[in-house]
Amino acid sequence: MIYDEFRAMNTSFLVAAEGRRERLQVHLDFIRTFVAECEQRFSRFRQDSELNALNRSAGHWFSASSELFDVVWQAYGLHQSTGGLFDPSILAALQAAGYDRSMDEIRQAGGLLDAPTGYREPWQRPPFEQTRFDHERRAIRLPEGVRIDLGGIAKGWTAERAAAALSKFTPACAVSAGGDMVLIGLPEGQNAWQVSLEDPRDPQLTLAVLNLPPGALATSAVTKRRWVQGGEQRHHIIDPRSGLPAGPAWLSVSVFTQTAARAEGFAKALLIGGPEAAARMPGLRFVAIRPDGSLWGPPQSKEYLYVPEQIR
């Protein structure tokens, strides 16, 4: 297994592939180029990105690239599937909470922001479900006054496309984009991919190991992207019902499904909605971590979970 690691889309990308580096290097280089193109297309921090052009067109039809159209369409479907808990139209609330620049810039500022203190309940904006799509013309019309953020789902989509491209040249590969991971094939001599489930309270500690078949894993957490605004701790998981950073029952949720977009959408929805939301999503395979570090999940997730003796 060979590896390539780089930073893009404000997160760390890790690519793994079975084979010889001299044969696969050109394909690893292609993935770097592809991810850079996706960052340019989907970033809300670049004024000339296609996403920002879409946001500026709200209230009017926008002719989108096939890539942007696909991501927004998938986001729309996940918004419906999660009862609105996954909602990309919370960009204004994200910015009001202080996430108005990249996390790299926030960290360079020491995580201390002199910015507005966020929306106060109730907050209002046109509902995202009023977005319209013209598949024949590949056009999108956001409701007037709506601006969207595609951060997590765009990273998952990018990782999935990158892994699919790489899989044409190797029997097994994986692409990880921060908390989103796509697994294709199996490592030589192995019957599963082993993925460490880190402790959200201390990333240096491992709580468990997931033994996963090919598919997609997404983790959403309230401990990764944090800052202090007006003396209050903030994070990037916005509850669309209030417009404020969510106050979840769990620190993180990891969801395993067949596609990265679906895993990302449901991980965020479960983190916001907690056990009540999980009860409305039977059959979903996920592991949640409580504030005390204990694990919680449905019975169908146990087949993937392994807790080594040394970390029990």
Tell me, yes or no, whether 54 lies in a domain: no
pLDDT value for 53: 98
Cβ-in-10-Å burial (0-12, 13-18, 19+) of 33 comes to exposed
pLDDT value for 114: 55
Tell me, yes or no, whether 240 lies in a domain: yes
pLDDT value for 151: 87
pLDDT value for 312: 44
Q: For CA atoms 226, 227, 233, 236, give the dihedral sign.
A: negative
Tell me, yes or no, whether 307 lies in a domain: yes
β-strand partners of 222: none
Tell me, yes or no, whether 4 lies in a domain: no
pLDDT value for 222: 83
Tell me, yes or no, whether 9 lies in a domain: no
Domain extent at residue 290: 192-312
Q: Is the pTM of this model over 0.85?
A: yes
Tell me, yes or no, whether 88 lies in a domain: no
| Structural domains in the chain (count) | 1
pLDDT value for 180: 92
Cβ(158)–Cβ(136) below 8 Å: no
Give the single-character DSSP code of 185. S
- Could you report the average pLDDT of every consecutive run of 10 residues in the chain (312 residues)? 95 96 97 97 95 98 98 97 95 82 69 53 80 98 96 95 97 94 96 92 89 96 72 78 84 94 95 93 93 90 75 44
CATH number of the domain at 254, please.
3.10.520.10
Structure tokens at 163: 């892994």
Tell me, yes or no, whether 247 lies in a domain: yes
Tell me, yes or no, whether 244 lies in a domain: yes
Rounded Cα distance between 97 and 298, Å, is 33
